[in-house]
């Protein structure tokens, strides 16, 4: 038997999984083991107005969907507005 105690959720492939959960009417089993991270598209330029700006519209939409999904399913997300994100100067 294998037990996974940490599951990292990212913005590229997770929308399909969340859609499946919605269509089947089932929750995430162990939200305490799931963590959302939008690391695939983190911008590498300075913050604007305190927030990291994503210039690619498709990437921005994926990040927004990840935020929505994590919020809906009760998953902790270290998003672009999280104070633990590195501040570029």
pLDDT in tens, 53-83: 777 788 888 888 999 999 999 988 887 777 7
For residue 89, is it within any domain? no
The terminus-to-terminus CA distance of the chain in angstroms comes to 47
Question: Can you give the pLDDT at residue 23?
Answer: 96
Residue span of the structural domain in which 72 resides: 7-78
Instruction: Give the count of domains, the chain.
Output: 1
For residue 26, is it within any domain? yes
Q: Is 30 helix (H, G, I), strand (E, B) or coil?
A: coil
Contact 70, 9 (CB under 8 A): yes
C-alpha triplet 55, 59, 65: angle, nearest 5°? 125
Has this prediction a pTM greater than 0.95?
no
To the nearest whole percent, how much of the chain has pLDDT over 90? 21
């Amino acid at each position: 038997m294998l037990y996974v105690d940490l599951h990292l959720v990212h913005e590229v492939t997770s929308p399909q999984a969340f859609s499946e959960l919605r269509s089947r009417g089932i929750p995430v089993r162990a939200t305490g083991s799931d963590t959302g991270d939008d690391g695939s598209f983190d911008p590498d330029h300075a913050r604007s107005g305190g927030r990291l700006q994503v210039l690619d519209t498709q990437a921005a939409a994926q990040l927004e969907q990840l935020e929505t999904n994590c919020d809906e399913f009760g998953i902790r997300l270290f998003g672009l507005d999280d104070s633990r994100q590195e501040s570029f100067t």
